[in-house]
Amino acid sequence: MPAPARRGYHHGDLRSALLDRAGEVVRERGAAALSLRELARDLGVSHAAPSRHFPDRDALLDALAVRGFERLGAALAAGAAPTEPFAEPLAASSAGSSAGSSAGSSAGSFAGRLTALAEAYVRFAADDPELLSLMFAAKHARGATPELLAAVERASGSAAALVAEGRAAGLVAAGAEEVAVTALLATVHGFASLVASAFLPAEAVHDVLGDTLAVLVRGLAAPR
């Protein structure tokens, strides 16, 4: 059991401290700017200490991506939750002035919850764009660690569960569940990715995203 305090020789919980600090650096300056030695300096340990917890730089980055998918999964789950809105405890910095969600989709409806999930995704991307880049780095195509895949699976679980509910309520055509999940996830991820790379201004997303999802939801009941 790791003790949080730093005593003498041993750090206490270096692994977590490394991930925490690395997360800050990635968010502020991007994954390319992350240096293990600088990390060690920041934490007051020797330059080789990180290697006791991560075999190499890439392993640390992978662990950071896993953490990212866990946070994203939590954010999506919170967004898709049917219950009443609390002021969200994390990821503040909302752009604010975006007008209230207008037509139709009340917070508890299928479309409403889907929209909330989507907006949580976009907020995540706007809040930590470099992390999203890292999470969806193309290098995963050349071999992703099992933990990563598991985290991705868990993160997409909220969307799958929501669609399953929609299916039960007759809002998603039978047999189209899997297609629906993929279509929705891809679409929402597209908006988030464009926001992260800043080609799509975060303020411009709200309306288009809502309209797009509304159209998709209508189509889910009667594909083809």
Residue placing its CB nearer to DNA in the complex, 2 or 104: 2
Piece in contact with DNA (CB under 7 A), picked from 56-64, 151-159, 176-184, 185-193? 56-64
175 contributes a contact to its own copies by CB under 8 A: no
- According to CB under 7 A, which one of 16, 21, 27, 38 is a site residue for DNA? 38
Query: Of its own copies, DNA, none, which one sits near residue 212, judging by CB under 5 to 8 A according to partner kind?
Result: its own copies
37 contributes a contact to its own copies by CB under 8 A: no
Query: Of its own copies, DNA, none, which one sits near residue 37, judging by CB under 5 to 8 A according to partner kind?
Result: DNA
- According to CB under 7 A, which one of 46, 108, 153, 203 is a site residue for DNA? 46
Residue placing its CB nearer to DNA in the complex, 42 or 165: 42
63 contributes a contact to DNA by CB under 7 A: no
200 contributes a contact to its own copies by CB under 8 A: yes
Piece in contact with DNA (CB under 7 A), picked from 53-61, 65-73, 116-124, 178-186? 53-61
52 contributes a contact to DNA by CB under 7 A: yes
**DSSP letter string, the chain:** ---SS--SSS-S-HHHHHHHHHHHHHHHH-GGG--HHHHHHHHTS-TTGGGGT-SSHHHHHHHHHHHHHHHHHHHHHHHH--SPPPPPSS-------PPPP-SS--TTSHHHHHHHHHHHHHHHHHH-HHHHHHHT-GGGGG---HHHHHHHHHHTHHHHHHHHHHHHTT-S-TT-HHHHHHHHHHHHHHHHHHHHTTSS-HHHHHHHHHHHHHHHHHHHHS--
20 contributes a contact to DNA by CB under 7 A: no
